[in-house]
Structure 1
Amino acid sequence: MGDVSEQIELCSLAAEFTEALARQQRLAERREAIVTRLHDEVERLRQGEMEAALDLVRHSLIRLHDQILRQAEHIDGPLGADELRALLTALADEAADTVARTGVERYVPRPGDAFDRTLQRPVDRVAAQSPEADRTVARVVAAGFVQGERVVRKADVVVCRWEPDAPPAASSPATPSSPADT
């Protein structure tokens, strides 16, 4: 009789085990369905955010396009250098505004500011007029762009370098150098 009761007990344990496995399988399938649904939702959100960001850039570029065409309509003859400079500066400002709408700001160091390798890239150098002017910005060749603490593009600058034996900066033209020399 012991064998029959042991078999019944084993069958009962096997049935419980089978039911527990089936519950675990159903739970795993539900978890997988939830993970798949969440993944799909994240992808839809990501795509929506990407489209929103692209829409911002698209609308800004369309505005820039329209401004260029409006400016072109007002040209009725040859432009003088000052008029052309003002027109191109206005268009560059509009382009910088377009970039600013994406969270990236224009960075323009001032002449006399200390040279900062993290924000500026030396493209040339000139002789400084005094030791105090050593490693300062002589002029800006191209603006930089930053997004918070992140440098998107360094500003291209000409750097003053003090060389005691060199003629004063006012009488000597810019002398090309390697950016590593600054």
Structure 2
Amino acid sequence: MIDVSEPVEPCALASEFTAALARQQQLAERREEVVTRLHDEVERLRRGEMETALDLVRHSLIRLHDQILRQAEHVTAPLGVDELRDLLTALADEAADTVARTGVERYVPRPGEEFDMVLHRPVGRVAAEGPETDRTVARVVAAGFVQGERVVRKADVVVSRWEPDTP
């Protein structure tokens, strides 16, 4: 620190200022190196997490692939409607299990459940039997998928609507 109570030579003052400025420049360069190193490390970690997540999905899809092939090996004659429905349902369940391994759960609304714009996407409308069933789920067309409180995909539903007879 410079003592301003004593007269100082301009050259000495300039020299001290230059030295202080050089120290600040070195500190700034070190900070920049640390920030760059931390940024690179964060990016490397992010890529690793992404690969880990993708590996989970890849392995699950490979299991689904194997399940389909195992089912195909057991088909020896034309399938009846019920057998085909059971086979396709089993494959859909396996796909939902695959998605569940990523932390996303299948959500299937119950008929009669109150219609909720956050969870449901209306894809059709039917007449309600009475006012108590107005704006309820009449039929589920496609399941929804949720991850905790986050809706990944809304369930496609047909909604009951009450329309009283008008004279």
What TM-score, normalized to structure 2?
0.92
Task: Give, in angstroms, the shift of residue 164 of structure 1.
Answer: 2.6
- Aligned pairs (5 A) from 1:1-182: 9-165=9-165
Task: Give, in angstroms, the shift of residue 50 of structure 1.
Answer: 0.5
Give, in whole Å, the separation in 1 of the partners of 2:76 and 2:23: 81
Give, in whole Å, the separation in 2 of the partners of 1:23 and 1:161: 75
Give, in whole Å, the separation in 2 of the partners of 1:118 and 1:36: 42
Q: Which moves more between the two structures, 50-59 or 147-156? A: 147-156
Task: Give, in angstroms, the shift of residue 18 of structure 1.
Answer: 1.0
Task: Give, in angstroms, the shift of residue 36 of structure 1.
Answer: 0.6
Give, in whole Å, the separation in 1 of the partners of 2:122 and 2:165: 22
Give, in whole Å, the separation in 2 of the partners of 1:161 and 1:131: 8
Give the secondary structure class of the aligned counterpart of 2:125: strand
Partner of 1:174: none
Give, in whole Å, the separation in 1 of the partners of 2:58 and 2:109: 29
Give, in whole Å, the separation in 2 of the partners of 1:31 and 1:45: 21
Partner of 2:3: none
Task: Give aligned pairs, total.
Answer: 161
Task: Give, in angstroms, the shift of residue 28 of structure 1.
Answer: 0.8
Give the secondary structure class of the aligned counterpart of 2:102: coil
Give the secondary structure class of the aligned counterpart of 2:139: strand
Letter paired with 1:140: V
Deviations 1:59-93 (A, max 9, x none): 00011001001110111111111111111111111
What TM-score, normalized to structure 1?
0.84
Task: Give, in angstroms, the shift of residue 47 of structure 1.
Answer: 0.3
Letter paired with 1:17: F
Partner of 2:4: none
Give, in whole Å, the separation in 1 of the partners of 2:56 and 2:154: 24
Identity, % of aligned positions: 83
Task: Give, in angstroms, the shift of residue 55 of structure 1.
Answer: 0.4
For structure 1, the residue ranges without an aligned partner over 5 or more in a row are 1-5, 167-182
Letter paired with 2:122: P
Partner of 1:179: none
- RMSD between aligned alpha carbons? 1.6
Give, in whole Å, the separation in 2 of the partners of 1:124 and 1:30: 63
Give the secondary structure class of the aligned counterpart of 2:163: coil
Runs of 4+ deviating beyond 6 Å = none
Give, in whole Å, the separation in 2 of the partners of 1:127 and 1:12: 94
Give the secondary structure class of the aligned counterpart of 2:157: strand
Give the secondary structure class of the aligned counterpart of 1:158: strand
